[in-house]
Amino acid sequence: MGKTLLQKVWDLHTVRQLPTGQTQLFVGLHLVHEVTTPQAFDALRQRGWTVAHPDRTFATIDHIVPTLERRRPFLDVMAEDMIAALERNCRDFGIRLAGIEDDRQGIVHVIGPELGLTQPGMTIACGDSHTSTHGAFGAVAFGIGTSQVRDVLASQCLALEPLKVRRIRVTGTLPKGVYAKDVILEIIQRLGVRGGTGFAYEYAGDTIQRMTMDERMTICNMSIEGGARVGYVNPDDVTFEYLKGRPFVPQGEAFERAKQWWRSIASDADATYDDEVVIRAGELAPVVTWGVNPGQSISINERVPSPTDAGEEPQAITDALDYMGLHAGDRIAGMKVDVAFIGSCTNARLSDLREAARVVKGRHVAPHVKALVVPGSAAVGKAAEREGLDDVFRAAGFEWRAAGCSMCLGMNPDKLQGHQVCAASSNRNFKGRQGSPTGRTLLMSPAMVAAAAIAGEVTDVRDLRIDEFTD
Ligand code: SF4
């Protein structure tokens, strides 16, 4: 009987079965950043241990790095301490670091693929929930906590529960103005934020197959928001084309051999799945979250739900409506926004910035809106500048920043103030996520964020009559 990619990669990386029922898995690549590692490195020092595989470990600085003023020492003492600790730890333990001055610096889930560190068939771990991003390449990639970071540093292994596999087939053509972000928000809305518990999500179908790697990364990135432990796409020619020539990818003859192996780890045609879901792309419209988790979303033309609607817990809906300042039956279109944020590991790649730039070109941000673009990596920023996208955004009234996690979370100077409402291309709309305990986040595609910035309120990007939507 055929196997899924998950089963193949899992079997190939199994060290042994543990008495707990877990599997001890070897980790091919450990990505490290400044926030979830200081205690893990301290634990190693206390025990006199070394890092088992510094050659399989790569560090960058992203979560707390300022995106405006980057002179050292940082004004934020905690940020300075964390970065200094990561620099010291990388030096002491022999780990490569894409530091603050490095051209390779950026959000960990943007630079891994960009550098070709992320490859098909790998097991990957990182102390950040959105490590599932790397599954876009046919890797099995786990977000882990600080104690597991310590375990991986010390042993290059993880103890993991077995997973079931749900295949999510997306079929048909996405309407213009509807993006990968809308697809994944729709999936999370339909299956629920806990619907993926105990599952790996395999994204398949002709819509996924036609997607670029950037789009596949957007989809896999938010698997965790649907409760799935990992999400992946089977590697194919699109994957190989993206990887070819990247710094850490085998070159020449070795690349051809790698390609053969990468192809072999894709799910077999006769693989069986624990569950299957079909999403019809042609029926989708731009999606916006109205509540306080990524599953609380509606299409741009719909009205926010009422606690009496079937589906979610009535109390959860009441609570979310109160927090967001909405009433049952309100339209999401027309909700005033104070801030527009284009950034994060979900949607701050070059193609995202290009699409948002198409929307804002020749227009201007509404006077009451603070709008910023934060490239996912220094390389994305440079590439965008070469194309003149920074000028397009600046001319429209956006701030153009240096790479980092920025306003995706409130751990750096980019924060919401008070009750501000933010149209965001990021991945979490939890209460207080963007740095203000009462700040409100509306998740949507980068093009929709751009449209909201221009209109000063949530608006359907398709109404702006953009002639040049990417096909
Ligand atoms: S952009 Fe947001 S989700 Fe992504 S790594 Fe940074 S903090 Fe985590």
Ligand 1 test: best mutation among 31, 82, 124, 128, most atoms within 8 Å of CB? 128
Specify whether the CB–CB gap between 422 and 335 falls below 8 A.
no
Whether 345 lines ligand 1, by a CB cut-off of 6 Å, is yes
pTM of the model: 0.97
Residue 69: what pLDDT?
85
CA of 356 to the centre of ligand 1 (A): 20
How far, in Å, CA of 153 to CA of 139, rounded? 19
Specify whether the CB–CB gap between 246 and 114 falls below 8 A.
yes
Whether 61 lines ligand 1, by a CB cut-off of 6 Å, is no
Q: How remote is the C-alpha of 257 from its chain's centroid? A: 30
Residue 466: what pLDDT?
67
What is the DSSP code string of 207-258?
A: HHHHS-HHHHHHHHHGGGGGT-SEEEE---HHHHHHHTT-TTS--HHHHHHH
Nearest CA to ligand 1 atom 2: 408
What does the pLDDT profile of the chain (471 residues) look like in tens digits?
Answer: 899 999 999 999 999 999 999 999 999 999 999 999 999 999 999 999 999 999 999 999 999 999 998 889 998 899 999 999 999 999 999 999 999 999 999 999 999 999 999 999 999 999 999 999 999 999 999 999 999 999 999 999 999 999 999 999 999 999 999 999 999 999 999 999 999 999 999 999 999 999 999 999 999 999 999 999 999 999 999 999 999 999 999 999 999 999 999 999 999 999 999 999 999 999 999 999 999 999 999 999 999 999 998 777 899 999 999 999 999 999 999 999 999 999 999 999 999 999 999 999 999 999 999 999 999 999 999 999 999 999 999 999 999 999 999 999 989 999 999 999 999 999 999 999 999 999 999 999 999 999 999 999 999 999 986 665 555
Whether 340 lines ligand 1, by a CB cut-off of 6 Å, is no
Q: Looking at residue 266, what DSSP letter applies?
A: S
**In 3-state terms, the chain is what percent helix, strand and coil (to 5)?**
35, 20, 45
Residue pointed to by tokens 């970065």: 83
Whether 344 lines ligand 1, by a CB cut-off of 6 Å, is yes
Residue 410: what pLDDT?
84
Whether 63 lines ligand 1, by a CB cut-off of 6 Å, is yes
CA of 125 to the centre of ligand 1 (A): 15
What does residue 376 show for φ and ψ, rounded to 5 degrees? -70, -20
Residue 311: what pLDDT?
75
CA of 409 to the centre of ligand 1 (A): 7
Q: Show the CA angle centred on residue 378, arms to residues 373 and 382, nearest 5°.
A: 80
CA of 156 to the centre of ligand 1 (A): 23
Residue 471: what pLDDT?
54
38-47 and 146-155 are packed helices; what angle lies between their axes, rounded to 10 degrees?
A: 50
The string over 109-125, giving b where at least 16 C-beta atoms fall within 10 Å of a residue's C-beta and e elsewhere, is bbbbbbbbbbbbbbbbb
Whether 433 lines ligand 1, by a CB cut-off of 6 Å, is no
Count other Cβ atoms within 10 Å, centred on residue 365: 21
How many residues comprise the chain?
471
CA of 362 to the centre of ligand 1 (A): 30
